Amino acid sequence: MTEVLSALADPTRRRILDALAAHGEATATVLAAELPVSRQAIVKHLAVLDRAGLVTGRREGREARYVVRPAGLGATARWMDRVAADWDSRLAAVKRLAEATQNSTGGSPDEPGPGQVRGI
């Protein structure tokens, strides 16, 4: 997953992945024609995406044709969903604690409680 996140951290690689997903299958030449990046740079970016398990290439004559491998994205998305759910749970607990404290002091969110200064 570290390689996936590292690969996706680069905006050019995200654009390449988006373009490749839109095409379904493409060569580095086709991708370079659409993006403001040289074919050689596209090939290097595709190698990073391949190592991360996000794309796969197959030789067809002199060209390599690349396709997106959704499994790599799926595993990362599931991990991110779990992290988001954990944070949602933690934030909900903080909210409940804040509301319970507010209700026990009888204050409102706009009024400072005992020993508090407005605006802090």
Q: Provide the pLDDT for residue 15.
A: 96
pLDDT over 90 (residue 49) = yes
What CA–CA distance (Å, rounded) separates 111 from 93? Answer: 22
Both tokens of residue 117? 């200064």
Both tokens of residue 7? 């690969």
Query: How much is the average pLDDT of 44-73?
Result: 93
Q: Does domain 2-71 have CATH number 1.10.10.10?
A: yes
Dump pLDDT digits (tens) for 73-114: 888 888 888 888 889 889 988 988 898 888 887 665 555 555
Query: How much is the average pLDDT of 53-71?
Result: 92
Q: Provide the pLDDT for residue 2.
A: 85
Nearest to 54 by CA among 11, 23, 83, 20: 20
What CA–CA distance (Å, rounded) separates 97 from 38? Answer: 55
The full set of domain ranges for the chain reads 2-71
Q: What is the largest CA-CA distance in the chain?
A: 77
Q: What are the beta bridge partners of residue 57?
A: 66
Q: Tokens 């507010």 sit at which residue?
A: 102
**Pairing between β-strand 55-60 and β-strand 26-27 as defined by DSSP bridges:** unpaired
Q: How does DSSP classify residue 56?
A: E
pLDDT band at 18; cut points 50, 70, 90:
very high
What CA–CA distance (Å, rounded) separates 56 from 39? Answer: 17
